[in-house]
Each structure stands twice: as structure tokens, then as C-alpha cells.
Amino acid sequence: MKTGSKLAGIALALMLTTPGQAADKVKVGLVSTLSGPAGALGVDMRDGFNLALKHMGGKLGGLATEIIASDDQFNPDTGKQIVDRFVKRDRVDFVTGIIYSNILLAAAPTAFESKTPYVSANAGPSQYAGKGCSPYFVSAAWQNDAFHEAAGQHATSRGIKDVYLMAPNYPAGQDALTGFKRFYKGKINTEAYVKLGQLDFAAELAQMRAAKPEAVYVFFPGGMGINFIKQFVAAGLSKDIMLLLPGFSADQDIIPAVGEPMLGLMSTAHWALDLDNAENKRFVADFETDYKRIPSVYAAQGYDTALLIDAAVRAVKGKVEDRDAVMKALKSVKAKSVHGPYRINNNGYPVQNYYLRVVGKDAKGRIVNKTIGTIFTNQADAYAKECALK
């Protein structure tokens, strides 16, 4: 133990003497949920990120890149420990990858305190969008409310009058229903929350049947979504009640597991498989070739995150140790993306379009999402004006 700590001290001293110069490589710490029913999201995100890296010849901003990937096991404590290790031991230049907002809220402050840029590929809690915004946070995905705001707007424009709302009881779940209610003008039948990670919804579905709503809007990511939709159909509720979903609960991580019952379900997201731009076509085609499956929205976000980091490193000419310049670049560069042009707002969250998609069959007979309309154009989140950052 003693020798170990001595050695660590020497190593630390050596590191401190390294003179400040343009780095010859970029280190990215990727922490994500990579196991369990909640883990398919993280795996897709990571694979999307790696595909972008492959497209750029293994380099970010022209510099050799080292990715350190770690599984947070769906546990906020583990996530925090990993980020701690990333910034103290591995001294990464960027942290990214957290899927779940409760884990992000536990882990990200460690990155913020050490002034390490956090580039979100998924979780976008309202806590970091308004008064609590951080100069070291940027999202290449969305603010948590966004898909749900679009869904609320969609419900309003369809003239739906009576909706039953349900989400897991954690920060993104609360953001989800808040977002939906912001743009939904009809009556709210019930607003219910369940434990995050719950997989059996028998009791909740019975309550839903008794409440007789016109439509149900649920936000259940990953395995929760798979089980909810299967059980919703198995309980016979799909005959009388319309099921509205955010993109998270109707994408390629869920569609293959549920199968035919998904057909015709509508959802809202900032990306879709058939979005017409060159990056997206290349991304979708190569993802299928490399990973033998159709990419989900999480894979698209992982890809976009890598592109954003790449553009920022290029903009600072490889001087990634100048953290404030990196942050400025992250917020101002025009990065390419698979979901079309977007810009980063003062609070670090994107301003972008949101689309309505419907699940149908493609030319090969596979069940996939198709874009059928645009709900919001250049939409910013509702919290940005409360953020003191310029």
C-alpha cells in the first residue's frame, strides 16, 4: 500500500511537470449504462459514437483519440465514481455518454468542478437547463422536455381531449410529463408515476382501464417501454385507447422486441431513420453493415456527439487543454449531424427541429419509423432564459 501511494505521488509529480502545449491526442471518457434491461440504450449510443470515430479515421479533430468506456450499471453511485476516475486518474479531455438523468445529476458535478467539458449524448435534465446551467455542459441531443413537448403539441393538434399520463419517478420522468403538459391543452385524466426500472405493469394497466381515457401518453425508456407496450396490448387496452409515445418508447431498441403491435404507433423525436441528409444516409447504411441491426435514436445521438466533439477540437486547433476555449467552440461551431442543422443555445442545449414519426414497414418489410411531419422548427427549450450564461 505504502509503496503504491509513493509511486502514485511520483507519477502525479511527473504529470504536473508536463509543460503546457497542444496535446497530441484526445482522451474521451465514455460512461454509460451498458448492461441490464436499461442498457440497450447505452450500447446503441456507444456503437453510434464508435461508428462516427471510424468514419473519421479514428481521430477527433484530426488528433489520435483514446476512448475509455465504462459501464455505470444503472447506478448513480457507480456513475459518479467512474467520472471521478476519468477526471482525476485518466485526466480525460471530454466526458460523455450518460443515458439516465438521475445518474447524470449525480456524476456530472465532478466533471464541472474539474472544468472538464461534459458533452451529453442523451440525458438532458431541466436542472442543468435553467438557473443551474453549467458552463461545462453541452448537449448534442436535446433537453429532456423536448420530445414530450412535441408530443403534447401533437396531441393538441389532433384534438385529443382526455389523456392519462405515466412516467417513471425520476428527473427525466418528471421533465417528460412537464414537457407534455406545456403544449397539451386538453384535460389530464391522471398523472401517475411508477418506480424507475419497474417491468410489470399489471396494477397500473388495471387502473388505466378503469379510468377510461381517450389516449395514454407514457414515457418509458428501454426495457420498461418494451414491457409496457407488450402488456398494454396483451391486456386488450390498445383496442379502445390511443397510445401516444415519445421517440424513446418507439425506436429501434423497442420495435424489434415488441413486433407487429408497434405498427401505426406515432412518436416524436429530433431524428428519424429516413431523415433526408447525406450524413444520415451514410450513418444508417454503415451502422447496419457494421452492427447488423438498424440504428436507434440513441445511436444517432452517439454519432452526433462524436461529430460535435470533432468540430470543437478542430476549432481550437487541437489545444484541448484550454477548457474555456473548448467550451466556447462546442457552443459556437456548426457541427454536421445526422439530424440536420442545429445550434447550441446559451445554456448548452440544442435549438433544432422535432418530427412526427409513425411505425410502418419499409421496402424490405422490416418494421421501422417513418417521418410524417415536422412539429417544431428551430425549437429552444423553455428554461434557457433562466440561465445566466451568455
Partner 1 sequence: MSGILLLEQSLNGLQFGLMLFLLAAGLTLVFGIMDMINLAHGSLYMLGAYLMATLAQATGSFLVALPLAIVATGILGVLLEMSLLRKLYQRDHLAQVLATFALILIANEVVRMIWGAQPMMLATPAVLSGPVDLLPGLSYPSYRLLVIGVGLAVAALLYWLVTRTRTGMLVRAGASNREMATAMGVNIKRLFTIVFGIGAMLCALAGALLGPLLAVQVGMGEEILILAFVVIVIGGIGSIRGALVGALLVGMVDTIGRAFLPALFREFLPPQYAAGLGPGLASILIYLLMALVLFWKPQGLFPARG
d(CA 301, CA 351): 15
Candidate ranges 24-32, 35-43, 120-128, 148-156; the one touching partner 1 (CB under 8 A)? 35-43
Is residue 194 part of the contact set for partner 1 (CB under 8 A)? yes
State whether residue 243 is helix, strand or coil. strand
Q: Which residues of 228-259 are buried (b: 16+ CB within 10 A; e: fewer)?
A: bbbbbbeeebbeebbbbbbbbbbbbbbbeebe
Task: State which amino acid sits at residue 156.
Answer: T
Among 26, 43, 311, 320, binds partner 1 (CB under 8 A): 43
Contacts with partner 1, 254-273, as mask; x by CB under 8 A: ---x----------------
Candidate ranges 19-27, 39-47, 54-62, 109-117; the one touching partner 1 (CB under 8 A)? 39-47
Is residue 191 part of the contact set for partner 1 (CB under 8 A)? yes
Q: Name 120's Cβ contacts closer than 8 Å, sequence gap at least 6.
A: 96, 98, 104, 137, 138, 139, 140, 141, 305
Three cell numbers written together for 260:
407487429
Closest distance of CB 1 from partner 1, Å: 25
Q: Are strands 242-246 and 266-269 parallel, antiparallel or unpaired?
A: parallel
Size of the site for partner 1 (CB under 8 A): 35
Among 236, 264, 341, 373, binds partner 1 (CB under 8 A): 236
Is residue 190 part of the contact set for partner 1 (CB under 8 A)? yes
Which residue lies nearer to partner 1 by CB, 36 or 109?
Answer: 36
Task: State which amino acid sits at residue 303.
Answer: Y
Task: State which amino acid sits at residue 294.
Answer: I
Is residue 227 part of the contact set for partner 1 (CB under 8 A)? yes
Candidate ranges 11-19, 142-150, 187-195, 318-326; the one touching partner 1 (CB under 8 A)? 187-195
Which residue lies nearer to partner 1 by CB, 202 or 278?
Answer: 202
Q: What angle do CA 384, 222, 284 make, to 5 degrees?
A: 80
Which residue lies nearer to partner 1 by CB, 225 or 318?
Answer: 225
Residues 365/356, Cβ–Cβ less than 8 Å: no
Q: In terms of Cα–Cα distance, which of 348, 331, 330, 350 is closest to 340?
A: 350
Contacts with partner 1, 5-34, as mask; x by CB under 8 A: -----------------------------x
Is residue 39 part of the contact set for partner 1 (CB under 8 A)? yes
State whether residue 376 is helix, strand or coil. strand
Among 23, 37, 336, 370, binds partner 1 (CB under 8 A): 37
Among 8, 25, 58, 207, binds partner 1 (CB under 8 A): 207
Q: What angle do CA 23, 26, 30 make, to 5 degrees?
A: 150
Closest distance of CB 190 from partner 1, Å: 7
Closest distance of CB 42 from partner 1, Å: 10
Question: What are 168's strand-pairing partners?
Answer: 194
Among 26, 28, 31, 40, binds partner 1 (CB under 8 A): 40
According to DSSP, residue 60 is labeled E
Q: Name 278's Cβ contacts closer than 8 Å, sequence gap at least 6.
A: none
Closest distance of CB 106 from partner 1, Å: 18
What angle, rounded to 10 degrees, do the helices at 297-315 and 40-55 form?
40
Can you give the binding site for partner 1, defined by CB under 8 A?
34-37, 39-40, 43, 71, 169, 174, 190-195, 199-200, 202-204, 206-207, 209-210, 223, 226-227, 230-231, 233-236, 257
